[in-house]
């Protein structure tokens, strides 16, 4: 995209909504991660307005982190489905497609292929961001088949281990034994092995994590996007607790995320050789650019 499209003519600036002008003047578009990455995300109002999620929502934090980590927000389209997440995703200043229940990966398949037809010489990053219900239950077939077909986009699952938006029902990703609505005697089955399924279905880069470390989480998001551009489907399975349905006091949300890191969300990163080559190349390029910039300043 030409950044010209979002740059207002100087003389019209005062007539434009303040939010729009801030987007252009202070937004992350066209900037590097050092200039506008997660380390600075607090300063970019346009990344997301005051979010409409519950107080202490760990998912809202992670969604901000996704937007702050995008390699090219000006060339990115996000897709989501019903659930808490879409409330925050839809108000970020990156195009968002809200489809039908759980069909985000099917829509992303069509979108990615069509983008490649229209813009063969450009990277248009496509990312699906959906909850555990949308990704692994209602959208399971569409998620799996997009991976099996080798569709080149990134799937991010916001796993809060429950249907938060509809009021706390068990999902396939809820842990065994959890007493939740629609599981009044405790969930019978095991938590679905999402990353194993992703690997078996052909994802070339998968990560399971509790995103407690901002820098590490941002690096993972970028890796997933870079690899999807060139190699194939990538998947991030991130813990984003529902502090309401699991009754986690607001002040304990971070501690809970740290705790989960030791159990169900132990860090696990898998990549194929082809994916590894892309990651090493891109990160070496980024380092070189950084060094060059430093040398320029000195």
Contact residues for another protein, defined by CB under 8 A: 1-2, 5-6, 23, 52, 74-77, 79, 86-87, 90-91, 93-101, 103, 106-120, 124, 141-142, 144-145, 149
CB of 104 to another protein, least distance (A): 8
Report the C-alpha gap between 51 and 188 in whole angstroms: 34
Toward another protein, which CB reaches closer, 175 or 202?
Answer: 202
Toward another protein, which CB reaches closer, 74 or 159?
Answer: 74
CB of 276 to another protein, least distance (A): 22
CB of 121 to another protein, least distance (A): 9
Place of tokens 């607790």: 241
Report the C-alpha gap between 152 and 231 in whole angstroms: 7
CB of 291 to another protein, least distance (A): 30
Name residue 108's beta-bridge partners.
none
Toward another protein, which CB reaches closer, 86 or 208?
Answer: 86
CB of 28 to another protein, least distance (A): 12
Toward another protein, which CB reaches closer, 96 or 254?
Answer: 96
Complete DSSP assignment for 256-286: HHHHHTTTTT--EEEE-HHHHHHHHHHHHHH
CB of 263 to another protein, least distance (A): 33
Toward another protein, which CB reaches closer, 69 or 81?
Answer: 81
Report the C-alpha gap between 31 and 25 in whole angstroms: 11
CB of 283 to another protein, least distance (A): 25
Toward another protein, which CB reaches closer, 80 or 172?
Answer: 80
Report the C-alpha gap between 199 and 220 in whole angstroms: 16
Toward another protein, which CB reaches closer, 136 or 257?
Answer: 136
Q: How far is CA 70 from the centre of its chain?
A: 9
CB 33 within 8 A of CB 218: yes
Q: For 114-247, list the strands marked E by DSSP.
A: 125-131, 154-159, 205-209, 234-239
Quick one: angle between helices 140-148 and 104-118, nearest 10? 40
Q: Closest Cα partner for 143 from 174, 106, 173, 194?
A: 106
């Amino acid at each position: 995209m030409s950044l010209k499209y979002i740059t207002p003519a100087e003389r019209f600036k005062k007539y434009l909504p303040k939010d729009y002008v801030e987007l252009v003047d202070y937004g992350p578009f066209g900037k590097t991660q050092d200039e506008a990455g997660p380390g600075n995300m607090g300063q970019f109002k346009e990344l997301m307005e005051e979010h409409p999620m519950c107080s202490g929502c760990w998912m809202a934090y992670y969604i901000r982190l996704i937007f702050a980590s995008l390699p090219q927000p000006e060339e990115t389209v996000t897709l989501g489905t019903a659930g808490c997440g879409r409330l925050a995703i839809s108000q970020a200043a990156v195009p968002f497609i809200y489809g039908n229940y759980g069909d985000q990966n099917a829509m992303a398949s069509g979108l990615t292929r069509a983008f490649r037809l229209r813009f063969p010489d450009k990277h248009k990053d496509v990312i699906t961001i959906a909850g555990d219900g949308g990704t692994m239950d209602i959208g399971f077939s569409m998620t799996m088949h997009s991976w099996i077909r080798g569709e080149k986009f990134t799937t991010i699952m916001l796993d809060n281990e429950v249907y938060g938006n509809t009021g706390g029902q068990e999902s396939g990703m809820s842990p065994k034994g959890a007493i939740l609505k629609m599981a009044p005697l405790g969930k019978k089955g095991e938590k679905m092995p999402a990353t194993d399924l992703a690997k078996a279905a052909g994802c070339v880069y998968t990560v399971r994590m509790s995103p407690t470390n901002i820098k590490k989480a941002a690096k993972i998001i970028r890796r997933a996007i870079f690899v999807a551009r060139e190699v194939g489907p990538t998947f991030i399975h991130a813990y984003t607790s529902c502090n309401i349905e699991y009754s986690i006091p607001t002040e304990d949300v971070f501690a809970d995320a740290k705790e989960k890191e030791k159990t169900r969300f132990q860090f696990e990163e898998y990549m194929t050789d082809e994916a590894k080559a892309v990651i090493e190349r891109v990160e070496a390029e980024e380092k070189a650019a950084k060094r060059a910039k430093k040398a320029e300043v000195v």
